Amino acid sequence: MQATIHNEFLTLTVDTHGAEAVGLKNAAGQEMLWQADPAVWKRHAPILFPWTGKLTGGAFTHKGKTYPGGQHGFARDVEHTLLCAEGDTIRLELRSDEKSKAERFPFDFVLTSTFRLEGRTVHHTLAVTNPADAAEELQFGIGYHPAFRIPFDDKHTTTDYEFRFDQPESPMILDAYPNGLLTGKCGYRWKNEQSIPLTDDLFENDSFCMAGLRSRTLGIYEKDTGKGIVCNVEGYPYTLIWSAPAKPVRFVCIEPWHSLPGAQTDTQEWSQRAAAACLAPGQTWETTLSTTFER
């Protein structure tokens, strides 16, 4: 099922499968989200929960039981319940049940996803609650993975774009090459740079996981027109940039995360995986990604 809301600048469509934004058009009717061509990358803007990246060994253990799991958790692959779609807001919910606890993730949780339009900005809030009657603490990872279409029109090509911070940055890059697990290595790719030029080879070794950003915003900009899509990454400990290895580049992702992939040397024990938050029964935690579409 899909739900659509709009204002004078934006029309947003969200699918209940994965609570995923699948369409976002500007006032001119131009689609700004990647449209999930399966030959390149089959997703639009998935939610990453209850972990980000890969699990060490493709599984985790809890109380002696092993739970296999794919990349980025399972919230993106299951049906969410539509709670409301009216005015400027769409809200969906995913609740744990006995099946999910037996097969995927042995913890009680409620994940609420709220999309709200404000002018040219989409605010996407993820709230995680550990129910008051839960049997134990809830530890989880979480992140965003929106994909934006490149180029913006047929008059531009890959090198007409750049990622741009709001101040010069020297991000620390956390290495997870070649298998998606942290290696323990880190280093600089850029120093004192406010922009990262987009090329068709930029992501030949997969994503860049950046730590230590001071900037409030990171966007993808069309250099000659100044048009851009700008994410507010303030408060996120990690921000990734990525695209699929297609040439020419068809989309770019700006991915604010509150947690990291597993490390090559990690144990599979869930309690030993670094979490975005640890919630006692009855507690709620939330985060918001605000993205402004200046095009």
The rounded average pLDDT for each run of 10 residues, N- to C-terminus, in the chain (295 residues) is 98 98 98 97 98 98 97 98 97 98 98 98 98 97 98 97 98 95 97 98 96 97 98 98 95 98 97 97 98 97
User: Quick one: pLDDT at residue 168?
Assistant: 98
| Burial class, 201, CB count within 10 angstroms (exposed 0-12 / middle 13-18 / buried 19+) | exposed
Q: Tokens representing 202?
A: 């930029």
Helix, coil or strand: residue 100: helix
| pLDDT tens for each residue of 131-155 | 999 999 999 999 999 999 999 999 9
* pLDDT at residue number 274: 95
Contact 277, 258 (CB under 8 A): yes
pLDDT digits (tens, 9 = 90+) for 260-285: 999 999 999 999 999 999 999 999 99
Identify which of 255, 3, 30 has the alpha carbon closest to the alpha carbon of residue 147.
Answer: 255
Q: Which residues contact 76 (CB under 8 A, 6 or more apart)?
A: 18, 20, 43, 46, 47, 48, 49
Res 235: pLDDT:
97
Judge whether 76 and 48 are in contact, CB under 8 Å. yes
Per-residue model confidence (pLDDT) at position 240: 98
